[in-house]
Structure 1
């Protein structure tokens, strides 16, 4: 309804505000919905709803992979420290004792 009103030059002036009043929504909300509908319909440049959802999904996956890598790195560092401690303990334990 609002998209068609914007296309018609005779009705386009003030169409969003008029239709928003009829639908009892804020004019800016309706303007954003119309803009997104035009983008999704290929009539206007921008990020489609489908693309935005895919980007959000990829960002979540990327964050999860970063968390997993951080955990893996911390585990590797802990393992290296434990090995060094074990070697240091083995070295001191294997040292010969002084005779009395």
Structure 2
């Protein structure tokens, strides 16, 4: 009797590939922990790399990314403060 293939949703695949790429653990170890065949996970990782999904940032790019994220958070806080002040100003003007 032939064995039926297991189907994995895209979120599970992406998560398994992220574990391999971000932790640096061997594919065989991660596959064993997730109950997968190492060849299956290896194919997923290879496809991700081939599609350009595994783009490693160097030190300068990572530092710039951190700086830009901080700046974005700062600008979002300033925007929120301005929104609140406009609401207060409109409420005062309509009284």
Which bin holds the TM-score, normalised by the shorter protein?
A: 0.3 to 0.5
Greater RCO (Cα-Cα under 8 Å, separation 6 or more): 2
Larger Cα-atom Rg: 1
Scaled by the length of structure 1, what TM-score is found? 0.40
TM-score of the pair, normalised by structure 2: 0.42
